[in-house]
Structure 1
Amino acid sequence: MRILFVLTSHAGDRPTGLWIEEFTAPYFLFRDAGAAITLASPLGGPVPTDPTGDAVEPVPPSVARFRADAAAQSALAATRPLAAIAPHGFPQGFDAIFYPGGLGPMWDLAPDPHSRALIETAFTAATPIAFVCHGQAALAACRAPDGRPLVAGRRLTAFSHAEDEAAGLVTLAPFVLEDRLRALGADFRHGPPDAPFVVRDGHLLTGQNPASSLPLAEALLALLTLEPRSPAP
């Protein structure tokens, strides 16, 4: 089982980046299941983490584990450049893709051409792909083969407008994610703020917020177990 994580490289003038729990919860679930994990980001190298997410109390168990795990820290500090992966060797090289959030993806993954090629290729190949919180920003520029927005008519969730407002994020990011996805024709669903909520539409899996990171990863792992991919050539 080979899983590709696509992470943000954007730190910003107002410090942002990856929301650490959205990476650590799925990372350790997949690693403990024996998955071979590759980490990639637009710039490669170290991934910035959001100071607000780093300061969450009580510390989520997966984050505490990460802080004590030198191998996991080294992996996050040495991601591969996304251009070196997408679309080369894909989808043969990976069984699934996981996009964690944080606000960073709103700036760099939303317009990134390599991320777009990766996602569009994954959809064509029916490769499972999961996004959590603001990671769904990477879907905004993606198109189906007929040119329509890739999310048009698809059931999905993401960090909701209400959650953005409660966190004071509406005016900080380039766009409001729920509003953009709805405008692109997505069948947007959401649960209560800050509560786990996961939506599956075929091979597309989405989680609403940080609390959804682990259940989203569990849903992806269950899908991979039910539908094992063919070995890479």
Structure 2
Amino acid sequence: MNTGNIQKRVLLVMSSVDEMGISGKQSGTWFTELAAPYYILTEAGYEVVFASPDGGDAPIDLLSMKEPFTTGYTERFLEDPVALYAAKNTRKLRNIDYSTFDSVFFPGGYGLLWDLASDSFVIKLIKDFYESNRPIAMVCHAPAILRDVKLSNGKYLVEGLNLTGFKDAEDNEIELDKHLLFSLEQELKRRGANYKSVANWEPNVVVDGVLMTGQSPASAAPLAEALAEVLSK
């Protein structure tokens, strides 16, 4: 699908949830997975629009704002009034005509397991982007949103596709596995995905057609660079 946009547009979808169920643990979007694509894609000449289910101030995971998880991108974001304003004033996702966007990028973080992964609007959005051949980029926990996405033919979107995402061993290492609603790795395998991972926390980007996935926070920048390259064609 060609949107006809002279300047390509990327819809960046954040979670509106700031806690992990009833555990009391704070969550939200993982900071570098928001900051890296924002700068990489805008500097490549694309328009990036932040959206979230509730609109407004989308929460950022506090842990991801501390060492050793900060990056040059996060430090720059904190000094950037335009970027900060965008994150605090996200568009309400349901009010957006996503047919006008050339691509969608989902940063990770744990919050999305509680809202985006079961949001019927988001599930339809991914199906529509996939079936209209527009790139879908997802990093870290974001591929969990694919769990319930079915295509028009009734098959799970991930069936037979190569992809990656945050692995069980990484959740276990930071002792958050017991607080999660479900395991990304197990659920996507159950749906027939060819799940591929590398060592914990290492960058890993897997591209299969228009689906582009990254395993860990370190994958956010290379994933955004891969998307920028695809959009340049």
Q: Compute the TM-score of the two structures, normalised by the length of structure 2.
A: 0.93
Distance 1:81 1:58, change over 3 A: closer
Question: Which letter maps to 1:120?
Answer: K
Q: Contact 1:109 / 1:137 at 8 angstroms: preserved in 2? A: no
Q: Which residue of 1 aligns with 2:98?
A: 90
CA apart distance, 1:90:
3.1
SS across alignment from 1:140: helix
- Residues 75-98 of structure 1: CA deviation (Å, up to 9, x unaligned): 00000111112xxx333x111110
User: What RMSD in Å do the two structures reach over aligned CA positions?
Assistant: 1.0
Q: Which residue of 2 aligns with 1:25?
A: 36
2:50 matched to 1:39?
A: yes
Question: Which letter maps to 1:11?
Answer: D
Q: Contact 2:63 / 2:69 at 8 angstroms: preserved in 1? A: no
- Distance in 2 of aligned mates of 1:167 and 1:200: 27
Question: Which letter maps to 1:210?
Answer: P
CA apart distance, 1:191:
1.0
Question: Which letter maps to 1:212?
Answer: S
Distance 1:58 1:133, change over 3 A: closer
- Distance in 1 of aligned mates of 2:145 and 2:161: 15
Residue identity (%): 39
- Residues 107-162 of structure 1: CA deviation (Å, up to 9, x unaligned): 10000011111101001100011000001121111101121211111100000111
- Distance in 2 of aligned mates of 1:212 and 1:10: 23
CA apart distance, 1:58:
6.6
Q: Which residue of 1 aligns with 2:9?
A: 2
Q: Which residue of 1 aligns with 2:121?
A: 114
Alignment gaps of 5+ in structure 1: 227-233
Q: Which residue of 2 aligns with 1:217?
A: 224
Q: Equivalences for 1:56-135 in 2 at 5 Å?
A: 56-57=67-68, 59-85=70-96, 89-91=97-99, 93-135=100-142
Q: Compute the TM-score of the two structures, normalised by the length of structure 1.
A: 0.93
Q: Which residue of 1 aligns with 2:4?
A: none
Distance 1:58 1:48, change over 3 A: closer
Question: Which letter maps to 1:96?
Answer: S
Question: Which letter maps to 1:26?
Answer: P
- Residues 149-201 of structure 1: CA deviation (Å, up to 9, x unaligned): 11111100000111111111211110011111111111100111111000000
- Residues 24-49 of structure 1: CA deviation (Å, up to 9, x unaligned): 00101111112111111011111111
Following TM superposition, where does structure 1 have runs of at least 4 consecutive aligned residues deviating by more than 6 angstroms? none
SS across alignment from 2:33: helix
- Distance in 1 of aligned mates of 2:137 and 2:34: 12
Distance 1:58 1:164, change over 3 A: closer
